[in-house]
Amino acid sequence: MTTEVGSETEVRKEPEKAEEQPAAPESEPAATNQTDEAKAAEQSANDHPAPATDSAEAPAEAKEKQEEAQPADNATPQEGEDTPASPPASEKKGISRFLPPWLKKQKSQSQVGPKESQAAPKEEAGVASVKEEDGEKGEQAEAEQTSSPTAAQPQVEEEKINGEPKPEQKEEVKSEEKEEENHSTGSADTQPAKEEKAAEESQEKSAAEEENKEAEEGGEEKKDEEESPKPEGGHSFIKSPLKLTKKVKMVMCHVTMLDGSQFPCEVEKRAKGQYLFFKVYEALNLLEKDYFGLSYKDNADQTCWLDPTKEIKRQIRNATWQFAFNVKFYPPDPSQLTEDITRYLLCLQLRQDIVSGRLPCSFVTHSLLGSYALQAELGDHDSGEHRLDYISDFQFAPSQTKEMEEKVVELHKTHRGMTPAQADAQFLENAKKLSMYGVDLHHAKDSEGVDIMLGVCANGLLIYKDRLRINRFAWPKILKISYKRSNFYIKIRPGETEQFESSVGFKLPNHRAAKRVWKVCVENHTFFRLMTPEAPIKAKFLTLGSKFRYSGRTQAQTRQASTLIDRPAPYFERTSSKRISRSLDGAPMINVTEAQESAPTSWENGREPGLELSSDSKSGRLRVQGENIYVRHSNLMLEDLDKTQEDVLKHQASISELKRSFMEATPEPRPSQWEKRLTASPATSLRLQAQGRCPPSRTQEPLPDLTVDTVAKSADDKQKSGEAAWQAAEVEIEETVVVEEIRVAPKGSVTITTPEVITHVAVESEVEKPKDEVMEEQKRPVSVSSDSEEEEEEEAGEYHPQVTVSASVDQIKEEPEEEGEEEEEQQVNEEPAAEPLPEPVVEVKAQPVPAVVEENSATEPQLAPVAEESPEDILVTPDEAPNGHAESPEGHPGPVALEEEEEEEEPRVNGDASHSETERLPQVICCSEPPVVKTEMVTISDTFAAQKTEIATKEVPIVHTETKTITYEAAQLDGSGDGEPGVLMTAQTITSESLCTTTTTHITKTLKGGLSETRIEKRIVITGDSDIDHDQALAQAIKEAKEQHPDMSVTRVVVHKETELAEEGED
């Protein structure tokens, strides 16, 4: 609400309190310190535990005043924002949220004091923080209220952000939501105002926030929260009756444009980034603006992106109002840009990148790109006019040689006739292929303290050591992105042969760096992978941590918008590239090469020089293990993005066809596509287990609201409630794929051994791709959040890139802050932008898989360690637990409740997975390298004698394979089996894969003459190089089957061995 006057800083620091109190009384004099006034008002409001409504009204007035006053003269906006968030602040926040509104109010009073003044009771502090936010919102709301009538906001977003806390907040959660709604509606109502007004509003908001932040050194965290356009209840209450004089402080911004020129722009001191953005875009006449951003250097000389939704002043803190206009998201295919001017700007950026060394090129490429740049700027080479020295003014490379210049000229001559636009296009066509194109590098260390670079780009996260790419995590592969303290984590989706997620942790030089990487990741992921930006997190309940989300348009959206561009190509002047060299300083550049040398120096917060990953263990979660760094994911990532970029080669078709039809000599039997889809489900459950998360059986009802409410009730114990809320919030809709075959099973038995299943599927990219997608879809719900939450005292920032949009529930982790550092968690719903979702061939049903989870934990204790989360985290729902091991004593004819049976069966399935000794291997880089020569299949089926005839294993023989089948039939036969088919009640197939084994379990329940019969058929495919002892495998299989289903009888076992003929000697 309040604009910070120049004196604000002073006032805030200490005088705040003084002013605060006085402020309330001083209704009008506050012209200078609007913020203070606002605070005071808030305080006053707080002081009076009176109902919010009253306060709200008053504040509105204040807001108006404040708004006007905002723009006041704070020429030097140096606020404590820069300072790292102080732990207390965070704590405050956490606590405050739990506190009832009135408490908050009281606290809010304290807020002001504590922030800058220092000592405030924790609770108060906490409240204060809340207030801060609330206050901000409230202020904003006020502003909106006041302003809305008068000034319309140009952008709805802003309004939303500003959230109006009008409604009384009975329950924080509800109120918040309502607020948001209100905001949105309000915003909608508002007419397109001038940005200035919006800016003012924002400023107001921000001002309040700023104060808070300042007080808290942990400003960053708060910022995030603040930034996040989440309306927080309670603010409305705090309306200061103060009247503010209307003073608008203007500040002169200098923006370095891509051509090196300076763009001066006067903005209100409280203006949001958006305003400046707009001014710049406007000046450039740029429509495809979403690829661009404004950057600034923070105090540590690190380049940061200006958040459009936040107040500028709060972001740059003490830094100068100097910005650079840069490309933020490098379009993977610049030819898809609509306008030449956009491409031109991209060219300018790339030329900067090249000259700065940020985009390394070979000599030839430097020359070629330089020649296109020349052509674009100068036109055709004129031998008369252009002497060799005409070129020396241009810079083409970090270090330019005469030889290169000659080459450039030589090439320039060959571009004769090329228009500037064509030259730009050619420039981009070549530049986009460079491996470092659009890669945003960040110094980091791996778990072993080795210097590496994290490269964030359109496709995902790249890991470099020196100049070498040592790992790559494509966005679809990443489940969660988070940071905590100075650590940055990604959670990796398990590969096709892996059972568990893995986390990889990186150590950044400091907390801010970690957060910066996190934000960049969130933004890039959202921009390139999602159709629409993720809705800002609603403060459902007790929200801590950063709510930061990318709020701009995604690439998909901007492309769509671009199609609507209907204007004559705007005229723009291509300015001399000579300037470029001057402007370089502004360009954020990190050279991979430099990484090593410079990296060490930057580790600021020396506190945790070593990897403090261990600290995580406190919370009972064994998080990032050193080994994880090198986790290899055998799962192939096939991104659609590549498709578009890659030329579709004709031969591909033929090749793929050939693949399908033919060879794919890979002897290992692969599940068919159909089967693969099923595969996901067990995997998911396994994962859950690993994480110790209890997949609540109520998964089917994703009623976050309800849970929230319940939680709210117990608000007393904040932490506990927090956790509870957590879990509630996290209740993820786990989708287990259950295939219901509503057919009457022939002979009452269902055999999985349909040729379909067994068929070798040449796993070519084509096949895999869909699979991959399926996996993503089904697995996505796995939320990692449980790890950090529990007893973690620190806020964590998390971002869960999830593939499916619909069902996914945003998980907001709330953790009481300890050190004022945030960890932000965010679940990203990823709608694979360009990726066609797999056809919904399989019906996905939400199914409670809890049983499975527990079962697994029991049967496969060895797997647990692999999981990052310690078993302690496992929350077992009462109902679930029992089921885990319980294997219903109903073998075949047992009249057992179908449900129970199912549950029992699932666990078994997973239990089988334990056969595979190699399960962990996939996660280790150096895996065993057994040649995939021999394949052995063990089929245990409960089929009846009648089915004997059915050959369980229809392994499609491969040319060079020899097969061997051993069948074991149990003497006992179920007489009833054959004749009456019975009625098939349920059937489900579950497949789990590990490196060397694939277990497919098919469970059917049939109703025969009043008896329900359950058959479990398992297909275990073991792939390995070593000679497998058939007999032993058989015995083992039978043994295990009996152990797992003591109440059932093994009726048939088929061992099918497939061995690849001796290979020709190779070395």
**Cβ closest to other proteins, residue 364 vs residue 706:** 364
Q: Phi, psi at residue 340, to the nearest 5°?
A: -65, -35
Stretch of 116-124, 681-689, 922-930, 1012-1020 lying at the interface with other proteins (CB under 8 A): 922-930
Q: Which of residues 958-977 bind other proteins (CB under 8 A)?
A: 959-960
Residue 666 makes contact with other proteins by CB under 8 A: yes
Contact residue for other proteins among 469, 559, 579, 948 (CB under 8 A): 469
Give how far Cα 534 sits from Cα of 176, 305, 363, Å. 18, 19, 42
Which of 501, 612, 610, 544 has its CA nearest to residue 869? 501
Cβ 738 vs Cβ 805: under 8 Å: no
Q: Classify residue 119 by its DSSP letter.
A: -
Which range of residues in 210-218, 514-522, 921-929, 997-1005 is near other proteins by CB under 8 A? Answer: 921-929
Binding to other proteins (CB under 8 A): which residues in 404-423?
407, 410-411
- For the chain, the distance separating the N- and C-terminal CA atoms, rounded to the nearest angstrom, is 75
* Binding residues for other proteins restricted to 314-373, rule: CB under 8 A: 360-365, 367-368
Binding to other proteins in span 839-868, by CB under 8 A:
none
Cβ nearer to other proteins, comparing 21 with 471: 471
Asked if 168 interacts with other proteins (CB under 8 A), we say no
Q: Which of 979, 977, 943 is nearest to 1054 (CA)?
A: 943
Alpha carbons 227 and 185: distance in angstroms, whole number:
20
Among 931, 975, 979, 1046, binds other proteins (CB under 8 A): 931
With respect to other proteins, which residue has the nearer C-beta, 641 or 844? Answer: 641
Residue 661 contacts by C-beta under 8 Å, 6 or more apart in sequence?
Answer: none
**Any contact of residue 627 with other proteins (CB under 8 A)?**
no
* Nearest to other proteins of 465, 579 (CB atom): 465
1021-1050 residues near other proteins, rule: CB under 8 A:
1025
Near other proteins by CB under 8 A: residue from 333, 393, 448, 466: 466
Among 575, 930, 968, 973, binds other proteins (CB under 8 A): 930
Residue 471 is a binding residue for other proteins (CB under 8 A): yes
Binding of other proteins by 642 (CB under 8 A): yes
1062 counts as binding other proteins under rule CB under 8 A: no
Q: To the nearest whole angstrom, how small is the minimum distance from the Cβ of residue 665 to other proteins?
A: 4
Q: How far is the CB of 488 from other proteins (least distance, A)?
A: 20
Q: Judge whether 131 and 855 are in contact, CB under 8 Å.
A: no
Beta bridge partners of 445: 451, 507
**Please, which of residues 712-751 interact with other proteins by CB under 8 A?**
none
Closest distance to other proteins from the beta carbon of 120 (Å):
51
Which member of 262, 598, 654, 714 binds other proteins (CB under 8 A)? 654
Instruction: Identify residues 754-793 at the interface with other proteins (CB under 8 A).
Output: 764-765
Q: Cβ closer to other proteins: 645 or 976?
A: 645
- 459 forms part of the interface with other proteins (CB under 8 A): yes
Q: Judged by CB under 8 A, which stretch of 318-326, 628-636, 753-761, 844-852 contacts other proteins?
A: 628-636
Burial 339-367 (b: 16+ CB within 10 A, else e): bbbbbbbbbbbbbbbbbbbbbbbeeebbb
Would you call 597 exposed, middle or buried from its count of C-beta atoms within 10 A (0-12, 13-18, 19+)?
Answer: exposed
Considering the complex, what minimum distance in angstroms separates the CB of residue 659 from other proteins? 7
Length of the chain: 1067
* Listed residue (615, 599, 373) closest to 487, CA to CA: 615
Residues in contact with other proteins, shown as a per-residue x/- string from 569 to 598 under the rule CB under 8 A: ------------------------x-----
Taking the complex as a whole, how short is the minimal distance between the CB of residue 421 and other proteins, in angstroms? 17
Size of the site for other proteins (CB under 8 A): 75
Distance (Å) of CA 754 to CA 675, 951, 953, 1013 = 11, 9, 8, 21
Which of the stretches 228-236, 428-436, 708-716, 1000-1008 binds other proteins when contact is defined by CB under 8 A?
A: 428-436
Rg (CA), the chain: 31
- Looking at 563, 929, 971, 1062, which residue binds other proteins (CB under 8 A)? 929
| Phi, psi of 152, rounded to the nearest 5 degrees | -90, 150
CB distance 1004 to 1014 below 8 Å: yes
526 near 554, Cβ under 8 Å? yes
- 100-119 residues in contact with other proteins (CB under 8 A) are none
Residue 122 or 469 having the CB closest to other proteins: 469
By three-state DSSP, how is residue 935 classified?
strand
Residues 6+ apart with CB under 8 A from 225: 93, 133, 543, 544, 545, 546, 547
Kindly tell me which of 104 and 1057 has the beta carbon lying closer to other proteins: 1057
**Residue from 41, 284, 319, 434 binding other proteins (CB under 8 A):** 434
The helix (run of H) or strand (run of E) holding residue 105 is: helix 101-112
**Given the complex with other proteins, which of 156 and 428 has the nearer CB atom?**
428
Among 18, 556, 561, 655, binds other proteins (CB under 8 A): 655
Q: Which stretch binds other proteins (CB under 8 A): 266-274, 291-299, 468-476, 770-778?
A: 468-476
Residue 875 carries which DSSP code? -
Closer residue to other proteins, CB minimum distance, 617 or 765: 765
774: closest CA among 843, 683, 676, 685? 676
Q: Round to whole Å and give the CA distance between 543 and 537.
A: 9
